[in-house]
Amino acid sequence: MEQFIEWIKQPWPWWIAGPMIGLIVPTLLIVGGKAFGISSSLRHVCAMCVPANIPFFTYDWKKELWNIAFVIGVAIGGFIGHNLLANPEMIEVAESTQRDLAALGITDYRSIMPHEIFTWENLFTAKGLLFFVIGGFLVGFGTRYAGGCTSGHAIMGISSLQWPSVVATIFFMAGGFLMTHLFLGPLMKLVGF
C-alpha cells in the first residue's frame, strides 16, 4: 500500500492524466446520460437553498443531485490530494515562464497559486480586490454568459461536437492569452505589485 501511495504522489504525465480526464465524458454520458460541467452546480445549490419564485431557480433541482455529489467529490479529492498526497518537490516551471513571472514579482513556486498574490493578507488590499473580487466576478459572469465553464465547454462540449463550445473555448483561450501577454503586467503595476 505504501508503494501505491508513493506512486500516486508523483506527477502524472499528460498521456495518462489527459485520457483519464477525457474518459469522464463518455462515462457520464454512457452510464447516466449526464453532461460534464462544474459551473451549473452553483445554480443547483442556489435553487436548493433559496426557495424563491425566481424563474431561473425554479426547476427540478433534485434531478441534478449527482452534480452536487460530483462537486463535493472534487472538493474532497482536492483536500486529500493537497493534504495527504502532496508532492514535496517544487512545481516545475519552464525557465522562460519563470523569467516572465519574476519580472512581475512572482518567484514562489511552492504551490499552484502564486503566494505573492493569493494569501489571506492580500484579501483586503488592492491586489485582493482586483484578483479575488473583480476577477471572481468576471469569471462568474463569463461562465454564465457563455453558458458554461471552461471544463464544460472544452471537455464536454467539444467532445460532443457542439459548435458553440468550440467558439467559447477559442474565446476562453484568446482571453487568457490577452490577459497574460497584454493586461497582467499593467494590472500588477496598478495595484502596486
pLDDT tens sequence across 99-133: 888 888 888 877 777 877 788 888 888 888 888 88
Task: Report the pLDDT averaged over residues 36-58.
Answer: 82
Whether 36 maps to a domain, the answer reads no
Check if the beta carbon of residue 184 is closer than 8 Å to that of residue 167.
no
The range of the structural domain enclosing residue 184 comes to 120-193
Can you give the pLDDT at residue 84? Answer: 82
Instruction: Give the three cell numbers for residue 12.
Output: 502524472
Whether 166 maps to a domain, the answer reads yes
Distance from C-alpha of 193 to C-alpha of 182, rounded to nearest angstrom: 16
What is the average pLDDT score of the chain? Answer: 83
At which residue does the C-alpha cell 505589485 appear? 193
Whether 53 maps to a domain, the answer reads no
**Tally of domains within the chain:** 1
Whether 182 maps to a domain, the answer reads yes
Whether 21 maps to a domain, the answer reads no
pTM tops 0.85: no
Distance from C-alpha of 184 to C-alpha of 100, rounded to nearest angstrom: 11
Task: Report the pLDDT averaged over residues 8-21.
Answer: 82
Check if the beta carbon of residue 130 is closer than 8 Å to that of residue 187.
yes
Whether 97 maps to a domain, the answer reads no
Whether 40 maps to a domain, the answer reads no
The Cβ-side half-sphere exposure at 36, using a 13 Å CA radius, reads 24
Whether 79 maps to a domain, the answer reads no
Check if the beta carbon of residue 172 is closer than 8 Å to that of residue 163.
no
Q: Is the pLDDT of residue 37 over 80?
A: no
The alpha carbon of residue 91 and the mean position of all alpha carbons in its chain are separated, in whole angstroms, by 18
Work out the percent of the chain whose per-residue pLDDT is above 70.
Answer: 99
Instruction: Give the three cell numbers for residue 161.
Output: 461536437
Check if the beta carbon of residue 141 is closer than 8 Å to that of residue 133.
no
Using alpha carbons, select from 174, 177, 190 the residue that is nearest to residue 130.
190
Q: Give start and end residues of each alpha helix (H) in the chain.
A: 2-9, 14-22, 24-32, 40-49, 65-83, 95-103, 126-128, 135-146, 150, 158-159, 163-178, 184-190
